[in-house]
């Protein structure tokens, strides 16, 4: 089965709560989520995301 892909551009001003709601919606739709980080200061958020969601989603981190 081919899963759809959702791409979200995450900025420093996105709260973790907002991020969780995005990911939960994507989970309901059976999407593979690719998060593209546009700010290199997001290391802390990336660690939190990996802990919470790494078993559920494929994450692709792109630091620009």
At 21, the pLDDT band (50, 70, 90 cuts) reads confident
Rounded alpha-carbon distances, angstroms, from residue 52 to 2, 10, 11, 64:
24, 16, 18, 23
* pLDDT of 43 strictly over 60: yes
pLDDT at 60: 42
DSSP H helices in 1-64: 16-28, 43-53
* pLDDT of 62 strictly over 50: no
* pLDDT of 64 strictly over 50: no
* Rounded Cα gap, residues 15 and 26, in angstroms: 17
* pLDDT of 25 strictly over 70: yes
* pLDDT of 12 strictly over 60: no
Classify 52 as helix, strand or coil. Answer: helix
């Amino acid at each position: 089965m081919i899963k759809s892909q959702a791409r979200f551009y995450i900025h420093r001003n996105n709260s973790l709560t907002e991020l969780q709601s995005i990911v939960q919606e994507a989970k309901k739709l059976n999407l593979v989520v690719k998060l593209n980080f546009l700010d290199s200061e997001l290391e802390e958020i990336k660690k939190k995301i990996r802990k919470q969601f790494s078993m559920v989603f494929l994450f692709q981190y792109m630091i620009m």
